Structures are given as structure tokens and as C-alpha cells.
Amino acid sequence: MENKTVYLNGDYLPLNEAKVSVLDRGFLFGDGVYEVIPAYSGKLFHLQDHLLRLENSLAGIRLANPHSREQWQAILQPLLSGVGDEYIYLQITRGTAAKRDHAFPADVPPTVFAMGSPIAPFAGRDTGVKAITLDDKRWALCNIKAITLLGNILHRQAAVDQDAAEALLVKDGIVTEGAASNVFVVIDGVLLTPPKSNQILPGITRDVIVELAAKNGIACHETSFSLTDMQSASEIWVTSSTREIIPVVELDGNAVGDGKPGPVFHAMNAIYQAYKQSLM
């Protein structure tokens, strides 16, 4: 394994020297939150938005933020090589208590871990990917970016088992999001994405796309839509920090539109890539 430098509880050290107690509540209970922050040419992308989401996730699990935004930037920046496309993985748990107990421990410092990694190119951006639909069986607080991801993992694995790249989740007939992504559809030439609620993660890439669409004359609405609506869409996309915008060209074995990435995707992807370049 590459022995890169990581951050753990105030220290920068080689990955193989980074150790966490087996009594850490992240290990025992999944009691923690995380962020994934992309960086391009050494510049963290929309860092303030990611830190705001981190603050909201920490508040959602009643865990005090251990650092200010300025301190977070100072902690994370040294983990970047400054070369190419990278991302920071940041995880905060409620820390290590003296015993295993469901109740919050008193006076226990959180465990803070962060590392940088390169973003591997994803070929599906050019060709499109397959997706399946599944009933959304996760918990009711999907707006918290919690490390308790077993529901998401099982949904994503179900997609992988069917040679698909993503599972698009449906609750009571309404599309929510992907197992590890937000979802957009194009219906009658209009770009739609589910509104923010406790049923979806408020994706930073999602928000950037909504903002860029408004600035570039692409009709876009944050509104609920049904599985039936999605099945009639001319385009479907999934978005995330590390994969950016990925067109879905096959859903549940049926072609989406003409089975190729569509014109609205091509327009938005060009806008998004130009926007990234403008920040470097």
C-alpha cells in the first residue's frame, strides 16, 4: 500500500503508522460524519460549501466542530500534492470512550482523520453508464453525511451485481437520489433534480450545477419527480464530487433517450469543466 502522509488527531504521519483504537465509536457504532472535497491543481473546490455541510452534519449528530474553517483549511492543504485532480477524505467520529455504551460519552475528544488521494478518471463520463432502480430502504436522515453507509453500500452492490454503475433510489414512488450520488433528469427540455430535504444528501456538485444552469440559460428546477417521470426522461445524470457529471444511458435494461449522452449533458459538462478551469 502506498505509504502516503495522512492527518490523525493533530499529527501528520505515514499511513501505516496511523492507528485508531478498537473502542473508537466510529468503529463500534458508525458514530461519525465525513466529507469528500475535490481539489484541482492544489486548490480545494468549493471548500466553504463543503465545510458548511460538515458543520450541518456535525450539528445533526450533536457533535461539536473541533476546528474553525480557517483551521480546517490549514489542516487539509498540506495533504494535497498540487498535481492533477485529487480529493480529501475527512472523517470525524465521537472519539474513544472507556467502555462501549450507546449513550454519548462525556469529555471525550473526537477522532479526526484526513487523507488525500488522486481522482481516477471515470470512463463513463464519455460513454454513459447503466443504472437500476431500487426501493430506498435507508434511514430518514440522509441529509447527514454520516459514516453509517451500510444501506448505501447494499444498494450500490446490488447495482454492481447487475453490471450497473449506480442504483437510483425510489421512496413511495418518488425518486430521491443515487446510492452514492445525486440525480438529475431532462424532461421536455427542462433539467430537474429533487429538492433538498432529509431524504437526500445536499450534494455540492449538485448545487454547482443548479447555479451554473441558472447563469447559462439552462432551464433547471428543484422539484420532486416520480419513477414514471424518470422512465420517460430524455436524459438522466448522476453527480458526485469525484465523478462530477455522469450520463445514464440505460435504466433497468431500457435505453434512456437514444441510448447516448444527450445534448443537455454535453452543454452542462462543457460549462462545468470551464468553470473548474476558471478556479485554477
pLDDT in tens, 208-253: 999 999 999 999 999 999 999 999 999 999 999 999 999 999 999 9
User: Which residue numbers are catalytic?
Assistant: 145
- 5-118, CATH topology level: D-amino Acid Aminotransferase; Chain A, domain 1 (3.30.470)
pLDDT at 243: 96
Residue 2 confidence class, pLDDT cut points 50, 70, 90: low
DSSP alpha helix (H) spans, 101-187: 124-127, 150-161
- Cell 485508531 -> residue: 20
pLDDT in tens, 167-202: 999 999 999 999 999 999 999 999 999 999 999 999
HSE, side-chain direction, 13 A CA sphere, residue 116: 24
Whole-Å CA distances, 199 to 96, 133, 136, 179, 230? 30, 16, 9, 12, 18
pLDDT in tens, 38-84: 999 999 999 999 999 999 999 999 999 999 999 999 999 999 999 99
180 is written with which cell numbers? 452514492
- The set of residues, in sequence order, having a beta carbon less than 8 Å from that of 52 and lying 6+ positions away, is none
pLDDT at 1 over 70: no
| Short-list 91, 130, 127, 138, CA closest to 111 | 91
* Domain segments of the chain as ranges: 5-118, 124-278
pLDDT at 3 over 80: no
Architecture, CATH, for domain 124-278: Alpha-Beta Barrel (3.20)
Which pTM value belongs to this model?
A: 0.94
